[in-house]
Structure 1
Amino acid sequence: MLLDLIGQAERFIYIENQFTTREEIARALNKQLKAKPDLEVLIVSSYDPKGLFETEAFWASRLAFKDIVEDGVDTDRIKMTYSSIRDQQGCLAYKRIHSKVMTIDDRFLVIGSSNLSNRSMTLDTEVDVVMFGDTDSNRKCIAFTRDDLIAEHTGRDIETTEAIMGGNHVVNELMNNQIAHGYVLTEINDEEFTEASKANIFRTISDPEEPLIPPVKGLGGKLTAITNPRRRTIMITVGLAVLACIVGLLLFVSNTVPWLDGDRISAFLEESRGTYFALPTVLLVYLIGGLLFFPVTVLSLAVAAIFGPIWGPIYGIFGALLSAGTTFLIGKGLGNAGLRKLAGPKVEAVDKKLANTGIVGVATIRMLPIAPFSLVNLVAGISSISLMQFLMGTFLGMFPQMIAKGLVGDSIMQIFKQPSAETVTYLVIGLVVWIAMIVGSQKLAKMYQARKQSDNAEDSEKKESEQCIA
């Protein structure tokens, strides 16, 4: 259907589509551009890809689509673009296109569910409606719909856009003299994200031309098609498999590597006491322990027991910050690679809480023993909180604990070396302080959350009042 419509174009084709990867469509556009010297084509799509699968399956294929469309044609007549807006502070936001629209001059308007992709054209079930401009009134409606969409994407009003569409060199005129700090069309540059690839594993999974699994014969000999798994299902399966491998590796290491236990770590730290290598040794232990999800409390008590109630907490907080920052950056990398989208609403909920509470929120999480140290770091990295906020919150939440653990750890060491009523008293005091800090932090967290909710409710009521007045 689309090939037939493209073959009837005389002056202007407008395409607004989420994905443009189907090379058969690209060849049809190129053929018609060569056959009709007055024909121009404007394509509007998304730009900033979401995750590795989308990048390699659709953006890499779009590079090939663009090359085919432009082959042997004046590029002023064909533009593949995206719409974005930049505010006065320089922040840029890309418009995410999900629509599937095409106009052929003012004669045909297509609105439907099909992308210009392999799976939409050959595999998936799609529904498209074609509206035919068989009267002057219908043709005006088609032209208005097209011009209204282009006006939105270029930040113009409909009258200005209609005037441009009625002139010559339409595509160039649309791309030029767009309003600053409004929506603008920009030619795509997908080389920023990937390189051209006609066949890869991501395209095979996300944009296939045929089912991944062939039909299966039933008992009656009837062929039953097995639908392709959704990309989210594949990504979750791959993620679980990778996670299982990591957990298995950590369990193997913890059960086979002789130095990965509390006693040997303590002995390793003990050898560095009183030397210039004390702090580097502590940092190394915290870094490796964090990567292997070793309990940070065990490390903190061991450091306090060996280096005392003063230097123990100081060394411990430096080690904890290094470990937290490292695993935070690992989480940030995983999030940028698509884990944020894969995890969906759960990460978004954590992200929202961290964004609303900032440094205080991170400090509160650190005070409450609700999740493993390294896991909190990874989740925070996936969120949008900054590294500096995260480290400051970690410091405020952990340093008081380090002092309490310093008392406890040092007291345990003294009890082993020289048991007495005094050392036992110090141990009891340290434990009481530690428990009191946990209980107190929980109450403070609840009070802060209640106050935050109250402030948000008041802000909402104020906004509603202002809207009613307006």
Structure 2
Amino acid sequence: MEPVERSERLDANAIGEVHLLQSSSTLIPGDTVWRRCEARRVAVLNDAAAYFAALRQALLEAQDLVYIIGWDIHSQTRLVGESGRADDGLPEQLGPFLRALVHRRPALRINILVWDFVSFYASEREWNSATKFTAGTDGRVRFHFDSTLPFGSAQHQKIVCVDGSLAFVGGLDLTIRRWDTSDHCADHALRRDPQGKPYLPFHDVQCMVEGDAAAWLFDLAQGRWRAAGQQIEDQCALKSIRWPATVPVEAEHVPVGIARTDVVCPAGSTIREVERSMIAAIRSATSFVYIENQFTSAIKIARELAEQMLRVPSVRVLVVAPKLHSSWLESQAMQNGRGAFIDYFNAAGVADRIRFVYPVSRSGDTEAAVMVHSKLMIIDDRILRIGSANLNNRSMGADSECDLIFEAASDQHRDFVASVRHRLIAHFCGLDEQAVTQNEDRLFALLDDVSRTDGTKTLRDVESSVLTSTLATMVQPVADPELPLHLERAASRMWRTKTLIGIASIAVALVGLAMAWSYTSLSDLADAGRISTLLSAYSQSVWGPAFAIAAFVVGGLAVFPVLVLIAATAAALGPWLGFVTALAGVLLSACILFVIGRGLGRERLQQLLGRRAARIQERVVGKGVLAVVIIRMIPIAPFSLVNVVAGASTLPLRDFLVGTLLGMTPGILAMAVLGAQIADLARNASWSSILLLALAFLGWLGVCAGAQFVAAWLAGRR
């Protein structure tokens, strides 16, 4: 990062540029915003208790159609206000509440769209969410995971639209471990997850709008629903609903822009309105920039802020962020980015006019850092933006985001924006709004005064720190990319001639080795009697079965004929111990080769196929248990080769192992227990014996088909 040269004075051109930007709107449809419209009424909801209470009231008035768009949603989220209780007769938890709501209003439909998260979030997400929201609703609550974004990108918008009349936008998802009041007590009896585990104070901001802004947000939500592959039902004219009675109207008829980041758009382009609108707003700053954000790692935004502070020496900046990130993985991924973001201002020579702070709450001897999750920016009390976009790279160009940008058009609007800023700072410091207003000219000094007292709340300086671990260095570019990762595009670069020749060589070698055991001098070694004699030396030892299982593993890696190993094991260890040992050896060998195949080929295969072809493959492989059974019972390819190829497909390991178990068991059992009888049957076959064998085969296929049904049912449940 090159240091920014410090300017000692503003030249005439810079002054003219600043005044031009200040006097003109930053809301330019098709450039900095998607739509510029008007919010007939606006309220800023500070923290989840206020948001959940307002949303609950709005949903109770819903008549026709609700869209809930989120990064995460949890059926056990308690949709309650500051009291922690609901008094409307409906369940407090979100899933049961929505189900009860559609039963109360038979014409109401609710569409829920949530990001189809990547696997390392699985432990944090709810199991079987769809059923918990939709059960018993006759299809009037629909739940869909959005999997349309490129790998590595996330559906990060947090929007709720009610009948196209009211809309909520901000940083809050309707999920657990979000609820808190603006008191942010160090310990709160109601701040518990569904397992009763307490979590730290949590701060976020959501806004509620009415009028044209709500109507356009409804269109945006409907477009996201359609882009995710879901049908739009025929609908009657949307009904206007009442503004929640307990929510004060803070401003009226405010110009507002809707800014997006979106990667699900034609020709692989990216909509970057969030980034452009943020840069335009920063370039218009002349006095004070207030920021609340969970992540600060977008160096482009740091550069814009620093350069504006150099152009306009009167600009000061206050950034409220979390002390630490919420998980170890986030720390590994984002801490270096935050350190570089903070260091940029030191290099620019403007660090004395910017403060990075985190909020703390105390209760007796207990002290807790408040988790700042909000995504808010205020410029000169003229521009207020609230939404889902973090100040990180991925929110600028890799994820889907939605921000509302309010632009003051009157003194009343400026008073509204100033009041939001004063209120937020005051609630972090344990002060009233008036105290912040009266100390406007010495705000940083006021923060220092508060930090020296023994009050229940304070703001402390964030320390710039950088992780030097190899993991942090590797994770950050993937966790915070500036653009979608586009693995399909990367795959096209990986599948070069050299790669294809290498993979083809491996396949030919496997087939060639399998044939060598049968048709060359190696066939002398592949004799069941010879192998049986070798294993018999260990047959009386406790290590006999283990030695035999190891032989299956080594044999699998060497593409040794598995039937020879099965026959030799049964002969050496006896029918029953031989059966169990051979079955264990077959499964272990198959599993190891499957894992090798997956490591070598699955990602490349899926990337080569592309998204649509991969989905078709997944549907075909959905019959995996039965397919594996048939291949095992009618061996059309060497055992080892089948295992590796299965690993390189999208076949689940569970289906592969179940299919192998069911497909190999009859043959292993027959060879172990009925070896001599099978040979006699082959020599003296009769129509009756053939019929019995055919019936046994069909009966076993019926058992395997039942296993396939169970596997498919379990997959559907997931």
Return the structure number with greater strand share: 2
